[in-house]
């Protein structure tokens, strides 16, 4: 019994659809998303704490300086005012001038929208009418304070109220995020490439295509998987070779006693028992020939890129030359489809299927060629009695025959569909039995992977 310390989390379906499906996209999301979240939280904390505290401190500091100058200016002598103006410019960076007050001027408190924090801080310290405005392309803050008979006009740079570290912080966060994303892209692409390469080689091997130039690369785990695949491929090839050699040897060794049996039966004459034995020997010889031909064909041929329509038309032309024409229908998109084929064994596989359709379907036999995404499909339809759904997988077993629809006196030895599916599997495809779409009979669907344009 397995115990889970943490419950298994399942994402909602709409999130699964929008999330990346590739390993590269998911790995990049795992690296970038936490970084973005951390930076967002850090930025929020910075603005809510640092920005408010620093901005408040700067506003209070400037408001205190302005309040001090107003206090000293109000009622001072002309010489004292000139001295204050000089030291304010030299020591505080505040440019001050005195303007005559216009009695008709409605000098009310205005400009709070310019800098609310500074306006409130100045209003608390200076109990006089004030006005704020931005001048010189919003780079300078204009401050006017109405005293008894004069207006104190002070100009300070906007930097006195805005911290430059804010922009530096934002630029730093954006720069590090961009740098991290760039490094992650390069690193992940280099790490994913060996995995993609391994999957391509594995897929090609499943289709019967060899890639002798493959070398495991990448991280230790990826190289380990690559070496495991190479060892597996070597063992499979060795087992296939051993099986072929064994079957070829058995088939060859059995031919000698079969030949002697045929000679002895021929000497017995036209006896009924001899005729029955002759038929059994003929069936055995046919069976051995089936195996031997298949082993020889599969072991010697290399896959060749071919146009599937041309290959199928070449096979069907032989039926037409023997007076048994089989019509071919090519649907849209399947005309120029290319696949990797071993021509001899593929001809054998498709011929077995068409022969069965002609023998047991009896009528309305036709071939349909179509394309479905990354696969090409060859559909062999007949108008016979069909095969019960419960028995459709069993007919692919060696030596299995349906007594009702596959009479042993008119049929073969029960290896036709077995060999056909074995051949198509070696091409990376499959053979599936279905109901004929017309409503009567059987459809044998041969599915083959389309050749990649990159090869």
Note the CATH number of domain 203-300.
Answer: 1.10.287.130
Q: What are the pLDDT tens digits along the chain (455 aa)?
A: 455 555 666 667 766 777 777 777 777 777 778 877 887 787 777 666 666 677 788 888 888 998 999 888 887 888 998 999 899 888 888 898 888 876 544 555 677 788 888 888 888 888 888 888 888 877 888 888 888 778 888 999 888 887 666 667 777 777 887 888 888 888 888 888 888 888 888 887 776 777 777 888 888 888 888 899 888 888 888 887 777 777 767 766 777 777 777 777 777 666 666 666 777 677 677 666 766 665 555 555 678 899 999 999 999 998 888 888 899 999 988 888 999 998 888 998 999 899 888 888 767 889 999 998 889 999 999 988 888 888 888 888 877 776 544 444 455 556 778 888 888 988 889 999 999 888 888 999 999 999 876 54
Evaluate whether 78 touches 155 at the Cβ level (below 8 Å).
Answer: no
Q: Which CATH class is domain 24-163?
A: alpha beta
- pTM of the entire structure? 0.54
Tell me which residue has tokens 């999301």.
29
Q: How many CA atoms lie within 13 A of 308 on its CB side?
A: 30
Q: Domain map of the chain by residue range?
A: 24-163, 203-300, 301-449
Q: What angle do CA 337, 343, 346 make, to 5 degrees?
A: 85
Torsion angle (degrees, nearest 10) of CA 177, 180, 185, 187: -170
CATH fold, domain 301-449, is Heat Shock Protein 90 (3.30.565)
H helix intervals, 46-164: 52-73, 78-87, 116-125
């Amino acid at each position: 019994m397995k115990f889970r310390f943490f419950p298994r989390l399942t994402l909602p379906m709409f999130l699964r659809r929008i999330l990346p499906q590739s390993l590269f996209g998911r790995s990049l999301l795992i690296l970038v998303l936490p970084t973005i979240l951390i930076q967002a939280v850090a930025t929020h904390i910075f603005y809510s704490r640092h920005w408010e505290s620093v901005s408040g401190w700067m506003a209070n500091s400037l408001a205190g300086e302005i309040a001090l100058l107003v206090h000293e200016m109000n009622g001072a002598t002309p010489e004292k005012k000139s001295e204050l103006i000089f030291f304010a410019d030299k020591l505080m960076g505040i440019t001050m001038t005195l303007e005559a007050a216009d009695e008709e001027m409605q000098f009310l408190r205005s400009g709070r929208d310019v800098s609310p924090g500074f306006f409130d801080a100045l209003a608390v310290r200076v109990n006089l009418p004030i006005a704020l405005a931005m001048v010189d392309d919003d780079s300078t803050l204009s401050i006017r304070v109405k005293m008894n008979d004069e207006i104190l006009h002070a100009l300070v740079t906007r930097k006195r109220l805005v911290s430059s570290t804010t922009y530096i912080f934002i630029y730093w966060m954006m720069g590090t995020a961009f740098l991290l994303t760039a490094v992650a892209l390069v690193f992940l692409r280099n790490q994913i490439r060996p995995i993609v390469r391994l999957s391509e080689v594995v897929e090609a091997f499943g289709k019967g295509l060899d890639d002798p130039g493959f070398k495991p690369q990448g991280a230790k785990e990826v190289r380990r998987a690559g070496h495991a695949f190479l060892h597996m491929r070597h063992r499979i090839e060795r087992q296939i070779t051993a099986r072929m050699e064994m079957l070829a040897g058995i088939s060859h060794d059995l031919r000698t006693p079969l030949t002697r049996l045929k000679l002895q039966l021929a000497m017995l004459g036209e006896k009924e028992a001899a005729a029955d034995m002759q038929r059994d020997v003929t069936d055995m010889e046919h069976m051995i020939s089936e195996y031997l031909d298949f082993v020889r064909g599969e072991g010697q041929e290399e896959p060749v890129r071919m146009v599937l329509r041309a290959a199928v038309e070449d096979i069907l032309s032989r039926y037409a030359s023997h007076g048994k024409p089989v019509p071919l229908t090519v649907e849209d998109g399947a005309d120029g489809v290319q696949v990797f084929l071993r021509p001899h064994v593929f001809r054998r596989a498709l011929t077995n299927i068409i022969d069965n359709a002609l023998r047991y379907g009896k009528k309305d036999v036709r071939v349909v060629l179509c394309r479905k995404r990354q696969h090409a499909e060859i559909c062999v339809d007949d108008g016979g009695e069909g095969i019960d759904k419960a028995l459709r997988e069993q007919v692919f077993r060696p030596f299995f025959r349906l007594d009702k629809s596959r009479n042993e006196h008119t049929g073969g030895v029960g290896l036709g569909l077995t060999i056909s599916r074995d051949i198509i599997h070696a091409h990376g495809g499959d053979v599936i039995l279905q109901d004929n779409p017309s409503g009567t009979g059987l459809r044998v669907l041969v599915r083959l992977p389309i050749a990649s344009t990159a090869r």
